[in-house]
Structure 1
Amino acid sequence: MAYLPVVGELEEHGALLQKQLAELARVEQPTMAALLTRMERDGLITREPHPGDKRAMRISLSAKAKARVHQAREQLGEVADQATAGFSERERATLIALLRRVVSNLDPTAED
């Protein structure tokens, strides 16, 4: 589960720097560094030197991760369906809106 925000951001934006990923995932740099180390160990990301900054590394999803994204999304959808079984579409929409408000209340920088 901890990998999901990173996978999502890399899938959406393409290669990013560690600092960018930390900001997008709203975690501290050391936390992101440890997470990326585990993801690299698991073969889910690749690192390549940034062309404009020799100190920086661009992080991308590996072919292995790209191949698994669709399956992971399907599994998340199944879990969401299970969690909201018996809810009407209106109730699901209300739940999502309320959860977004909770996140916003806890993190003023969160997007609405």
Structure 2
Amino acid sequence: MTNFAARLFAQAIARELRPLGVSPGQLPVFFALADGSALSQKALVQAAATEQPSMAEALSRMQKDGWVQREPDPQDGRSFLYSLTPAALEKTDALLEAVRSVNATATADLTQEECAAYFSALNKIVGALKASIAGA
């Protein structure tokens, strides 16, 4: 059931993001850099809990689409720092609203107590999975 719910969430978010020209796989990058920071690919991999090849592909696509820019890392000449372009920064509020809209739709039939319990349980699940992956 969890896998099925995740696929439905992904489909709903993809539908909301399509008019904005953004894919669901790009959301973690948008949100990690939304404060105007610049991060390395390695830091973005960790923030997004994804694999390096997937992040490399997302960053390459986002650079082609004009959403991210990269600059040499002044601390490490072999690495780059990625940041959102001004056009991407302008989209972050709309992206957050799209995610909120999907979450609101998904939880619309829950009571306040059920919604609180759901998010509490989900936070515990995410924490347990992160710990498991970190320990692997």
Match of 2:6 in 1: none
Match of 2:73 among 32, 41, 50: 50
Deviation at 1:96, TM superposition (A): 0.7
> After TM superposition, where is structure 1 displaced by more than 6 Å over at least 4 residues in a row?
none
Which runs of no fewer than 5 residues in structure 1 stay unpaired? none
Name the residue aligned to 2:56: 33
What are the ranges of 5 or more consecutive residues in structure 2 without an aligned counterpart?
A: 1-23
Paired positions, count: 110
Percentage of pairs with the same residue: 35
Q: Give the alignment's Cα RMSD to 1 decimal.
A: 1.8
Q: 1:103: which partner in 2?
A: 126
- Given residue 19 of structure 1, which amino acid in structure 2 is its aligned partner? K
Question: If each structure's helix is expressed as a fraction of its own residues, which one has the higher value?
Answer: 2
2: CA distance between counterparts of 1:19 and 1:75? Answer: 27
Q: Determine the C-alpha separation between the residues in 1 that align with 2:113 and 2:35.
A: 28
**CA distance in structure 1 between the aligned counterparts of 2:87 and 2:55, rounded to whole angstroms:** 20
State yes or no: 1:24 paired with 2:55.
no
Structure 1 residue 93 displacement after superposition: 1.1
